[in-house]
Every structure is written in C-alpha cells, then in structure tokens.
Amino acid sequence: MKRKIAAIFAADIAGYSRLVAEDEEETLRRLASYRQVTDDFIAKGGGRIFNTAGDAVLAEFPSAVEAVRCAIDIQESLRTRNMAYPPSRQMAFRIGITIGDVVERDGDLLGDGVNIAARLEGLAEVGGICVSRAVHEQVANKLSVQFADIGAQEVKNIPTPVHAYMVAMRREDGSYATPQVKKPIKVPPPGAPAWMWPAGITLVLLAAIGVGGFLAYTKLETSATKPAAVASSAPASAPLVSASPAPLVAPAPPASTVPSAKPAPTPALAAPASPPAPSIASGDKLATDIIPFVSDRTRNVLATEYAPANDFKAIALNINGFVGSSVAQPSEDAAKTSALEQCQKRADNAGSPRKCELYAVGNTIVYAHGLPPVPPLPWVKRDALVEKPYATKDVPLLREAARARLDSLFVPGRKTRTIALGPGGHYFFNAGIDSLEESARRNLQACGAVAGVPCTIVAVDDVFVVPIPATLRVIGFFKAADSSVITPGERSDVARKLADATVGWNAVAVGTQGRPGLGLKAENEQSAVNAALGDCARRDSDCHVIAIGPFAVGPN
C-alpha cells in the first residue's frame, strides 16, 4: 500500500433505482451509452477510473483543475443528450470532487478523500457539481466558472464538517445559473462548552415559536378587519413559430451602401396586432401542416393518407424527422405499437440516436413537448456585408468531433443544406433538401427541441449568413436584455437598437460602470468593434467588447 494526494471524482445517477424499475432494458442501454461519454471525458482529462458499482463511478485525477473541467464537460454533454427524453426519463449525474490523502491498494483507492468525494456528490444538485474548499482554492482563478459557497456541511460518517462549493452550470444562452444554496451548519465558537451549543439551539427554537405565535395571532386579527387582496396573473407565452407572412429569406442590400436608418413601415405592417402563432398541446386536434421535424413530403402524405383514414391509427416521430404511421389496426394499442416500431426501426437503420415518441393517436395529438422554439421569420437573412465563404473551422462553439462530422457530411452534401446552431453548442444540419425553407425549418426545430431555446441558421450551402467574429472568441449567444454586465437601466435600449440594426456588423462594448457602447451597421467587423469601443469610452472607462453580431465574445 502507498499513500498519495489525489483529486477524487465521484459520480452517480440521480433516481437510478426508479429509472430501472420503470424500464430496466432501456435504462441499462442508456447507462452504457452515458458511461461511454463519462469514460471518454475522464480519459481525455488524464483521469483514471479506479472503481465502479452499478451507476457509480470513482476516478482520480492528478489535477483538481482537470477534474473540474472534466465534470463540467460531462454535465454539459449529458444535459444535451437528456433533452431528447421527457423529464421523467432523463438520466442525470451528480458529481462530487475533493483533494485528499488516499491509500492505493491493488489499483483501488481508499481513505477519507474517497469518502468525502462521495458525500459531496450527495450534496450536488441533479446535473450539478459540488466541490470541497480545497478544490475551490485550486481552480477558482484557473477556470472561467462561478461558484456558490454553501458553507460547512455535516455529512455522513465524516467527523468534521466539510466546507463545500457548488459549481454554477452554464445555461443555454451562455450565462450561468445560480445553484440552490444549501443551508450551512452553524459551528460553535472555539472553546465553547459542549453543552452551550444544544442549549443555544433550544433557546432559539423557543424564541421562534413565541414570535411565530405572535405573528400568527396578529395575522388573524388583521384579516378580520382588512379585506383580502387577490392577485391574478397569467404569464404571457412567447410565440414558438411565426405565423406572420414575413419572407423566409430577407434580401441583401447593395454591398456599397449601408442604410443609416430603418425604413418606416407601411401602414399595413405597422398594425400592432398579429395573427396568433400556431401551437400544439396534448389533446389538440391533429393538423398535419405543422407537425414538427418531418419533411414537407411526409406532411403531404399524412394529410392525404393518414388524416382521412379510420381508426385505429397512430403517428410516431423523433427529432431527426423519422416517422412511423399505422392505420386500420384492430385496437388503439396495436396502432401505437406499430407506429413506434416503424419509426424506431427507420431511426435505428439510419443511426439516429433519438428515441421515437407517439405524436398522435387517431386524429388527436398526444405529444407532450409542444412545438419546439424557433426564431421569428425571416429565418435566413442575406446580407452581402456579413456573408463570407463557409469553412468548418470557423463555426463557433463546436467541439472537434462536431467539426469532423460537418467536414465529412455537410461539406460534400448536395444543396440545399443549412446548419442551425444553438447557444450551448447544439447544432443540426441537413443536405439535399428540396427547399431552403424546409431545410431551415427542420434544423431549427430539431436544434430548438434539444437546446430548449431558439437556434440560429448560421450557414446556407457554401456561405455563412451571420457575422462570424474573427477578432475575439465566441463564448455563447448574446442577449442584451439578460446581460448582467450592462447596467439594468440600459439593457432594453441596447436590445431595441440591436434589433433595429438589421444589416451590417454590430458590436457591443461595456466599461467598468456597465455603460454600454454600440457600433451598428458597420461595413466590417473591425469598424463595428472600433465604433463600440469609442462610444463606450465617451461614457465609461476600461471598455471591452462583449458582443459581435449575435454572439457573446471573450478574449482569444
């Protein structure tokens, strides 16, 4: 046996027993697939798996930085995979990481370091990461991640409290979510007699009971003399698919001129009212012309052959556009089974990783996910000022495996072909599609379904159709209204001005006080950057660029 210091990584699946009980074969199949992802990332980060048991994985890393980077990569990759499944069937890991003294015996590791990592994993949120203070001190200034201090935590079979931190996981738009901070324990001051701690707790509880009783009595007295105020609110839902007659492709202005102001709308287009966007919900009547993911030809076939057919019948589909339909079956269950089997067989034969789901039974929608989010029309904006020849190396946010896939399948593909990109690096592409509208629609719907937010068409055939930054590194998509670095009072104004600047290059800079500077409708990237920095410098100090085109950017 030998002792050593190592970064210990512990992971297991939340709710694994329930998943197995509901569908053992499917859960075990997905576990093997997900384990391949975790094992690959661990090996890539220089880690070594030293123990596994069911859904649990224990690994060691020579560096805390690599352990945390690996954990983030795993969680982001598995989050994307989980979006293809309903919430009740998603398979999410919790991960805990610590640095500790361990004993190595026959390749296995033992000791407090292993035990603490396992307890930190239990503190982590579903799909989250929890690290010890020692790990936080090692990585806080080395990785571009944020942490939430959850304080000292009492954990099972560890005699002293463990000071822990939650890693803030990245959202789809590139921002970071604040973890749910667990309440830290209160440690008695050094030297305090042991009896004082429980006595203090007792006194606090008695005081709380007294105050609570007084407040409850006061509330009863007040409600007897004061009429109750009832608040009613109905959250507005954003349209998922534009129903306006806007064109799919916006024409490019002449390359030699850049409009200085947005043309005034005609009276007909200036009307505030617009037709309601189509939507689908479980229980709605089937409308074949808005079935998502599938080709226009499939929609036509379903409209002419499926819709008028008698029961029993069903439709199944998956995100990649594979479909199975069955009519004139002896029972509803037989129709559902036949449709699912047809769809899944076609998907499996084509190598699609997505599972088929029932979309309609009879002429009633049973699909629970609704229409995926897509951006408003036009989906493709042709602007000669920003277009440039397509090169896979320039597609932002993608990993090397994704770039290799685009080089081998997208680049040699037949027209029409497009790429849809999401803020978290999600991407979908197709080739040989009958029309640009269908190609864009199917990619945007598939990408939106996985990302959970609208994606953007970045490439059409052999050109990029959005500004692709070259001076700074793309780190996500930019939304001025949600930007935490812009002073709150100016976010909506920045968002409005960017929305109005529909041609040329746009850039946003910000200074130490959060005052923004804008460079709008510029003829090239550098001009937009210079204008944004100059505008910011007139209002703030130490300005830097945070957005170019639709993208959030950072240093290369």
Residue 540: strand, helix, or coil: coil
Q: Give the pLDDT of residue 93.
A: 93
| Cα angle: 545, vertex 547, 553; to 5 degrees | 80
Residue among 518, 546, 390 nearest 466 (CA): 390
Paired strand residues for 96: 10, 130
- What is the total residue count of the chain? 556
Residue 187 is which amino acid?
V
Bridge partners, residue 103, by sequence: 3, 110
User: Whole-angstrom Cα distance, residue 366 to residue 328?
Assistant: 19
Helix residue ranges, H only, 406-537 = 436-451, 488-500, 525-537
pLDDT at site 520: 97
pLDDT in tens, 46-88: 999 998 877 889 999 999 999 999 999 899 888 878 877 888 8
Cα–Cα distance, 272 to 466 (Å, whole number): 28
Q: How far apart are CA 552 and CA 556, in angstroms?
A: 12
Mean pLDDT of 140-158: 83
Burial class of 505 by CB neighbour count within 10 A (0 to 12, 13 to 18, 19+): buried
Measured N-to-C along each axis, helices 64-82 and 24-44 cross at an angle, to the nearest 10 degrees, of 150
The CATH number of 2-168 is 3.30.70.1230
Under the banding of pLDDT at 50, 70 and 90, the label for residue 228 is very low
Round to whole Å and give the CA distance between 314 and 326.
5
pLDDT in tens, 183-197: 555 444 444 444 444
Burial of 157 (0-12, 13-18, 19+ CB in 10 A): exposed
Cis peptide before 202 (omega within 30 of 0): no
Residues 6+ apart with CB under 8 A from 415: 431, 432, 461
Phi and psi at residue 309, in whole multiples of 5°? -70, 155
Instruction: Give CA–CA dist 206/415, Å, rounded.
Output: 75
CB atoms within 10 A of CB 452: 17
Q: Rounded to the nearest 5°, which phi and psi values hold at 126?
A: -65, 125
| Spatial separation of the C-alpha atoms in residues 67 and 89, rounded to whole Å | 27
Name the H helices within 92-173: 112-123, 133-139
Structure tokens at 502: 């529909």
Give the residue among 321, 296, 350 at the shortest CA–CA distance from 449: 321
Return left, alpha or beta for 237; rule: phi > 0 is left, psi -120 to 50 is alpha, else beta: beta
Q: In what order do the strands lie in the sheet with 314-317?
A: 323-326, 314-317, 357-361, 364-365
Count the neighbouring beta carbons within 10 Å of the beta carbon of residue 71: 28
- 242-260: pLDDT as tens digits: 333 456 767 665 544 444 4
d(CA 311, CA 141): 63
Over residues 24-43, mean pLDDT: 88
Q: Identify the pLDDT of residue 95.
A: 96
Share of the chain above pLDDT 70, in %: 81
Does 106 score more than 50 pLDDT?
yes
For the purposes of burial, counting CB atoms within 10 Å of the CB of 337, is it exposed (0-12), middle (13-18) or buried (19 or more)?
Answer: middle
How far apart (Å, rounded) are the C-alpha atoms in residues 232 and 388? 51
- Range with the largest mean pLDDT of 27-36, 267-276, 528-537: 528-537
Return d(Cα 153, Cα 159) in angstroms, integer: 11
Quote the tokens at residue 314.
């069903």
Q: In the structure encoding, which two tokens stand for residue 452, read together?
A: 């959970």
Assign residue 289 a region (left: φ > 0; alpha: ψ between -120 and 50; beta: otherwise). alpha
Most confidently modeled range among 52-56, 263-267, 322-326:
322-326
Domain ranges of the chain: 2-168, 288-365, 380-464, 473-554
CA distance 37 to 495: 38
Partnered with residue 13 across adjacent β-strands are 93
Q: What is the pLDDT of residues 494-507, one digit of tens each?
A: 999 999 999 999 99
pLDDT in tens, 408-435: 999 999 999 999 999 888 899 999 999 9
Name the E strands within 133-241. 146-153, 162-168
Q: Coil, strand, or helix at residue 338? A: helix
Average pLDDT of 8-27? 88
